[in-house]
Amino acid sequence: AVVSFLQSFSCSWVFLWEKGYQETDSVVSSVTTKVKGVTLTNTSTLGARIWDVADYVIPPQEENTVFVMTNVILTLNQRQGRCPELPDDKTECKVKKNCVPGYVSTHSNGIQTGECIPYNSSIKTCEVFAWCPVEDDYHIPKPAFLQEAENFTILVKNNIWYPKFNFSKRNILPTINSTYLKNCIYDSQTDPFCPIFRLGTIVEAAGQNFQEIAVEGGVMALQINWDCNLDRAASHCVPKYSFRRLDNKDSAHTVSPGYNFRFAKYYMDSNGTESRTLVKAYGIRFDIIVFGKAGKFDVIPTMINIGSGLALFGVATVLCDIVVLYCMKKKYYYREKKYKYVEDYEL
């Protein structure tokens, strides 16, 4: 009975659950994205300002990735010249000899000139030749500068192809029309196939708080799974979306958290002097990860698995005998039932 059970189980596992009768192929994919959303900020430095997709999506296009800026430190009207360095234990000075001409550390904003000049009314620092005034990023804006970014949306267009079966499809399904696409927002219950995602929903579905991650940034994954049984109709091959956070979110590890980078916007002022606005951008990078496998009936894997199953039948008998006759508590009882010992006089 045990042997029969193992044989039945192995056949069911290989042929029904693992679909051992199918040839399989891995997905080939391409992804494009489009972010939409507008927000208004009003600060003493910038005044009232509108931020649209050209301001906060940096760069405009990446491969399988989109970065949305949620927080920012701006250093306006920088020009090349001489100015005091930011104060720290290596740049603060009292006299000129504390500063070394030509010295540059990994955290310097410029090259020291050898002079010690006032940073403010109470502190002196070494003078540097740099883009002045130097950036002060000690204090990150809280709450996030673009906190309304959680209501921005991202359209994900994904095309997939299974080369072995010459089967292709995209996540904008044939049943989706332009009217629906203009109005839908992804919801796992009501709109599971809508390719437009609210940024806040992606973060929340991964178990995170958008306003917290927006301050210092992070990396999120939007996963698209295409597992298709091509023995069924093509309409059954549909994408399944899931979300998770990829960067380290452990509160115990506070060194260099989040995700940020710098870039500059250059221009010439009225005097013909080159100037720039330095931007330190914090934000969320959304990585679109596509994976999947397709299967379709094929004679060769079917015959191979049938042969393997038949061979397994013989192995199962041997294994069951070993377990029953040598490992179980009642092994002597089973051995008596399996073998009959005959005395010489009975022969």
Enter the pTM of the model.
0.81
pLDDT over threshold 50, residue 257 = yes
How confident is the model over 88-106, as a mean pLDDT? 91
Give me 197's structure tokens. 């995602």
How confident is the model over 240-258, as a mean pLDDT? 82
Distance in angstroms (rounded) separating the CA atoms of residues 214 and 199: 11
Query: What does the pLDDT read at residue 191?
Result: 95
Of 53-62, 103-112, 330-339, the poorest mean pLDDT is in 330-339
Domain locations along the chain: 1-13+299-338, 22-76+143-296, 86-133
Query: What does the pLDDT read at residue 222?
Result: 97
Q: Is 331 annotated as a binding residue?
A: no
Query: What does the pLDDT read at residue 45?
Result: 85
pLDDT bucket at 3, cuts 50 / 70 / 90: very low
Distance in angstroms (rounded) separating the CA atoms of residues 38 and 235: 36
If you compute the radius of gyration of the chain from its CA atoms, what whole number of angstroms results? 33
Give me 334's structure tokens. 């089973």
Average pLDDT, the chain: 87
Q: Is 34 annotated as a binding residue?
A: yes
Q: Is 338 annotated as a binding residue?
A: no
Q: Is 75 annotated as a binding residue?
A: no
22-76+143-296: CATH homologous superfamily? Answer: atp-gated p2x4 ion channel domain (2.60.490.10)
pLDDT over threshold 90, residue 334 = no
The closest of 151, 152, 277, 280 to 215, measured between CA atoms, is 280
Residue 229 CB partners (closer than 8 Å, separation 6+): 19, 22, 236, 237, 294, 295, 296
Question: Could you read off the pLDDT of 42-76 as tens digits, one per residue?
Answer: 988 889 999 999 999 999 988 899 999 999 999 99
pLDDT over threshold 90, residue 322 = no
Q: Is 39 annotated as a binding residue?
A: no
pLDDT over threshold 60, residue 147 = yes
pLDDT over threshold 90, residue 335 = no
Residue 165 CB partners (closer than 8 Å, separation 6+): 25, 230, 294, 296
Query: What does the pLDDT read at residue 299?
Result: 67
Q: Is 35 annotated as a binding residue?
A: yes
Question: Could you read off the pLDDT of 8-52 as tens digits, one per residue?
Answer: 555 555 555 556 667 889 999 999 999 999 999 998 888 999 999
Query: What does the pLDDT read at residue 95?
Result: 92
Higher pLDDT, 78 or 338: 78
Residues 158, 29 contacting (CB under 8 angstroms): yes
Question: Could you read off the pLDDT of 198-209 as tens digits, one per residue?
Answer: 999 999 999 999
Question: Could you read off the pLDDT of 268-283 as tens digits, one per residue?
Answer: 988 888 999 999 999 9
How confident is the model over 256-270, as a mean pLDDT? 90
Q: Is 260 annotated as a binding residue?
A: yes
Residues 94, 301 contacting (CB under 8 angstroms): no
Distance in angstroms (rounded) separating the CA atoms of residues 286 and 243: 10
